[in-house]
Amino acid sequence: MLSFLDMVNHYLGYINVSVKIKNRIYVILGALGDLYLFYIAIRYFQNGHPFWGLLILLVAIMLVYFVYLNTVYYFTTKKAPFDISPKIEKLLHMKPKDADLEGTKPMVRGGRNIPANGYFDEKKILPGKLTSSAMETESIQQLATRLQQNQLLQLDYSGLGDREIMEQTQRLGKPVYASGPGVLIPYFEMQTENNQLVVYAGINQAEKQRVGVVSTVGLQNVADVRDQFELYLANATLVGGPFKVLGRTNLIEQDNPFAVAVQLAYKHQNDDQPQDSLTGSPANTRVSRYDEPSTMSRTSRSAERDAGSDSDSEPMTRTSRYHH
Condensed to tens digits (0 to 9), the pLDDT of residues 1-51 reads: 556 666 766 666 656 666 777 788 888 888 888 898 899 999 999 998 989
What are the pLDDT digits (tens) for 159-177?
888 888 888 888 888 899 9
Predicted local confidence at residue 109, as pLDDT = 43
Please name which of 101, 112, 108, 237 lies closest in space to residue 182, comparing C-alpha atoms: 237
Predicted local confidence at residue 96, as pLDDT = 57
Decide: 231 and 224 in contact? Cβ < 8 Å: no
- Read out DSSP for 144-197? HHHHHHTTS---SGGG--HHHHHHHHHHH-S-EETTTT-EE-SEEEEEEETTEE
Q: Does the pLDDT of residue 136 top 50, yes or no?
A: yes
Q: Does the pLDDT of residue 155 top 60, yes or no?
A: yes
Predicted local confidence at residue 167, as pLDDT = 85
Global pTM value: 0.52
Whole-number Å distance between alpha carbons of 14 and 5? 15
Q: Return the CA Rg of the chain.
A: 32
Predicted local confidence at residue 145, as pLDDT = 92
Predicted local confidence at residue 110, as pLDDT = 41
Whole-number Å distance between alpha carbons of 100 and 95? 15
Predicted local confidence at residue 177, as pLDDT = 92
Distances (CA, A) of 229 to 101, 145, 172, 261, 281: 43, 36, 37, 21, 27
Whole-number Å distance between alpha carbons of 279 and 296? 24
What are the pLDDT digits (tens) for 226-284?
888 888 999 899 999 999 988 877 888 889 999 999 999 888 777 654 434 333 444 44
Q: 303: part of which helix (H) or strand (E)?
A: helix 298-311
Whole-number Å distance between alpha carbons of 236 and 50? 72
What are the pLDDT digits (tens) for 59-117?
989 888 888 888 888 888 777 777 777 777 777 766 555 544 444 444 444 445 666 67
Whole-number Å distance between alpha carbons of 24 and 99? 12
Predicted local confidence at residue 259, as pLDDT = 94
Domain range list for the chain? 2-96, 122-270
- Residue 288, phi then psi, degrees to nearest 5: -70, -25
